[in-house]
Structures are given as C-alpha cells and as structure tokens.
Chains A and B, each alone.
Chain A
Amino acid sequence: MDFLKKLGSLDRRVVYLVLAVSVIVPLVFSFNLRHYVDRSTQRLFDHIEAVPPGGKAVLISFDYDPQVAAELDPMAEAVLRHCFARGIPVIGMSLYPIGASLGERIFTRVAQECGKRHGVDYCYMGYRPGYTIVIMGLGENMRGTFRTDHYGTPADSLPLLRNIRNYDDVALLLDLAGSQVVTTWIVYAGVQYHATVAAGLTAVSAPDYYPYLQTGQLVGQLGGMKGAAEYEQLNVERGYHPRKGLASRAMNAISVSHIVTMLLIIMGNIAFLAARRAGKRDGEGRAIQ
C-alpha cells in the first residue's frame, strides 16, 4: 500500500521526466517499428496518384501557425514531393498571415530539391485576407482573387495559371489546417463549387472530421504526425522519394511515449482506486499521505 500511496501523490515533474526520456531515447537510438497506412491517408494518396501529369492542378492551402507546424509541415512536404514527382502542377496559398511564410519555406525547399520552377511547375500565391471571400473568389476567378503571387509577380504573367480559371481546373484542394477552417473549405468550395476537398489536420482536430470522410465530403485525410509518416512511407514504397522524412523518424518516439502514457494512466487509476478503497483522498481524488 505504501507504494500505491506514493504513486498517488507522485510529483508531476517525475511524470514529465519519464515522458521526456521515453521521447529522447527512441530518437537517439533509432530502431524500426512497423506502422500501417490508414485508409484515409491511402485515399488521399490514391486520389493524387490518379491525377494525370501536367493536367489539372493540386491546390494546397497552408492555414496554420507555427504552433502546429511540427505536425503539418511534414504533411506538406510529403504531398509536395508526391505531386512534383508525378509532374502535377501545384498552387500554394494561405488564409493565415503567418501560414504564408511557412508554406513558402516548404515550397521553395522541396521545389529546389525536385528541380521545379516557380510559375511553370508550381505557383506560390501567398496570403489573401478574408477567408470565405477568398474561397468563393477562387471558385469564380482564380487570377482575379490572386492578382499577384507571393513575390508580387502579376498572376497573368505566370504560365501555369493561364490554364487555371477556377476550381474546375483544380483536381484537389488540400487544406492543411490546425483549426476549423477546413469546414469553411468544405462548406463553400465543396458544397457551392463542387470542388474536391481533402484535409491535413493536427491530431487534435482529426477526430472531428471523420464524419466528413465517411460522407465523402473529404476525399482523404491526414491525421497528425502519423498521417504524415504514412504518406512518407507511401512515397518511399512507390519510389517517389528515396528515404522517409522527419515524421517517420518521430514515429518510434510516438509509439514508445504512447506506451509510457498508457502505463502512467493505468498506474494512476490503480493508485486512485487504492486510495478510494482506503478512504483517503482529497477533493481531486489524490491520495493523502
């Protein structure tokens, strides 16, 4: 019982330390844990796989802030590599002021690695204010909504945009978001303009969008770091990229830290139940020494 008493009143800093170790050790000592590809990820990959090279474009919106970039940056990178490897034109944009800079950084790096040219193989349009108005404007006239790209070049002078009028010329809208902005894309681009929408979401938001996946309002969905790792794995399996990226390397740490979290939750519950049985607990259920 002494052990259970101590467990019940364990300092939270010990829990932080245990979790930190469970994250750091798998990162330093690399090993291969298998993870399967979820069907929502597979559906997104298959949809992009079916887009003919040089045909309709894929539009990626970077609607997130640095707080969640850890989860969404690897997704953006993996999808961009897939599109560039298949020769699919890509248009980047953002409804978030800071998201524009995050997207530009990824676009520039991946495009350079893949030898793609701005204006020809991809366009980065940057930020435009006014969520709903921008989404509806893109459905009417893309070059009217984005008169210049992120660097100030007139949209009319970009060869890639000459053949893209509105959502009819876009094979897929992928919204990378850490908020409910995905719903705005579904409501306006999906319902009003019948555009094909997919989402890359933080793990916190992912469960909220499974109903949209089930109804087909989202053709695919990447959920958190795991979604990004799955997409990286698919890219490697199909030969679009020689090695897995940051998300895949993080999966070992996620798996180990999840096991530790589960053990901590179980131990916490055992300590709580033991304290309750002994009739000694404070208002929050903590064991009293």
Chain B
Amino acid sequence: MTTNPWVWLAAILTLCIYTYLYKDNPFYKFAEHLFTGLAVGYTIAIYWHNAVQPYVIQGIFRAHDWVLLVPLGLGLLYLTRFIPKIGYLMLIPIAISLGAGSGVGLPRSLEANIVKQMQGTLLTPAMLQHPFDPYNGLVVGLLVLAGVVCTISYFFFSREHTGALRVSSRIGIWFVMIGFGASFGYTVMARLSLFISRMQFLMTDWIHIIK
C-alpha cells in the first residue's frame, strides 16, 4: 500500500462516495458536501484570477480602460435580483446577452445544424462509387434518407396517422428506438468507464495490486 497521504485521502473519499450504493449514510454525505464546497471554492478562485483580475481590476485600475465600466455595470445589474424594488433591472443584461447571442449565433447555427445536416441526407452520384461504404455509401445514404423522412413523419401531428403516414411513422418510431438504444449502450459504457477508472486508481495507486 502507498504511504502517500494524498492518495490515502483520495481513496478514502472514493470509498465514502461508493458507500451510497449500499444506502445513504454520513460518510457519503461528508464526501458529497466536501466535494461540492471544494468545487465551488475552486471555481470562484479560478474565475477571480482568470476573469475578474485581468479583465476588470487590471483593465480599469492599471490600464485605465474606462470602457470596461460599461460591461462591469451591466454585469452588476444581475445582482439587483436580490433587491425586489429594482429587480427588474436584471432584465437589461439578460436582454443584451440574448439579443447579441441570437444575432451572432442564429445564421451560423442554422447553417451548421440545419443546412449542412440536410445536405447530409442527400443522395449524390459519388455514393455509387462505394455503395457499401459505412459513411458515404449508397446503402447508408438510403438508410439515412429513409430514417430522416420516416422520423419526421412520426412528429407530423397535423394529420391523423393513417394510411401511408401510419406506415412511415411506424418505421420512424423504430429508427427513434434504435437511436435511443445506441445512446443507452454508450451511456452504459460511459458509466462503467468512470467506475473502472476509480477501480484502477484504487488498485494501482492505493493498494498496488496492479503494477
């Protein structure tokens, strides 16, 4: 076993967290609260040193960049939410953020998430060259096209799902379910990966079972 006190601390806290799997208990609560407090404190310190100090304090008081007072003032308006009488002032920075964010983001977002994705469903002559290519082949192209059309038809609610629409929406829901299955499979792998990593730490760094 290691003699490094930090590894011991990390190992004990890891075990404290896993005791929750048996049932809720004070050890778990202690580790949970310690983690939350540390994470918040650390984040505040990081923001202070990387955002407030260089961009606000140094910018205004050292570089005398007085324009920075405008965003600083707007930012401080968020705090008016704690004063009910003038709490509505908080809407000003929110409106500016939303307006500017939407203006900058919408055109690019539409292109990246709608136009390019629609292009991805198109069948092109190049697909005939490698029909069974798993990414750009004709077969997968037809599958993607069918999947997109049928799935969208499932979410078409302006007409009763009868006749052809019933068939396509039924196929669409199958595509949706396969998608959910793939996501669930990946999620299982993700959660197990996190557990495996902790086990590797305990058995490698702490008790040295694995070399």
B133 to chain A, nearest CB (A): 10
Judge whether B86 is part of the interface by a CB distance below 8 angstroms.
Answer: no
A57 to B70, CA, bound (A): 36
Name the distance in Å between A43's Cβ and chain B's nearest Cβ.
9
Q: Which 7 pairs show the lowest CB-CB distances between chains A and B?
A: A70-B197, A203-B190, A97-B46, A215-B120, A225-B193, A129-B51, A203-B186
Chain A interface: which size bin?
35 or more
Question: Is B46 in contact with A100, judged by CB distance below 8 angstroms?
Answer: yes
What is the CB-to-nearest-CB distance from A34 to chain B, in angstroms, rounded to a whole number?
17
A sample of 15 more A-B contacts (CB under 8 A), given A27-B210, A97-B42, A98-B43, is: A13-B21, A19-B195, A24-B203, A97-B50, A129-B47, A132-B104, A188-B108, A191-B108, A204-B187, A207-B182, A213-B135, A223-B186, A224-B186, A224-B189, A254-B196
- B196 close to A211 (CB less than 8 A): no
Cβ contact of B50, chosen from A16, A126, A213, A246, cutoff 8 A: A126
Taking a contact as CB atoms under 8 Å apart, the answer to whether A191 and B46 are in contact is no
Residues of B within 8 A of A179 (CB): none
Count of interface residues, chain B, beta-carbon cutoff 8 Å: 46
By the criterion CB–CB under 8 Å, are A261 and B113 in contact?
no
Q: B residues within 8 Å of A by Cβ?
A: 21-22, 39, 42-43, 46-47, 50-51, 55, 101, 104-105, 108-109, 111-113, 116-117, 119-120, 134-136, 144, 179, 182-183, 186-190, 192-200, 203, 209-210
Candidates B51, B101, B199; contact of A132 at CB < 8 Å: B101
CB-CB under 8 A for A70 and B198, given A127-B46, A207-B183, A215-B120: yes
- In the complex formed, the residue of A with least CB distance to B179 is A207
- A190–B115 Cα gap in the complex (Å)? 14
Chain B residues, CB < 8 A from A250: 193, 196-197, 200
Task: State whether A258 touches B199 (Cβ < 8 A).
Answer: no
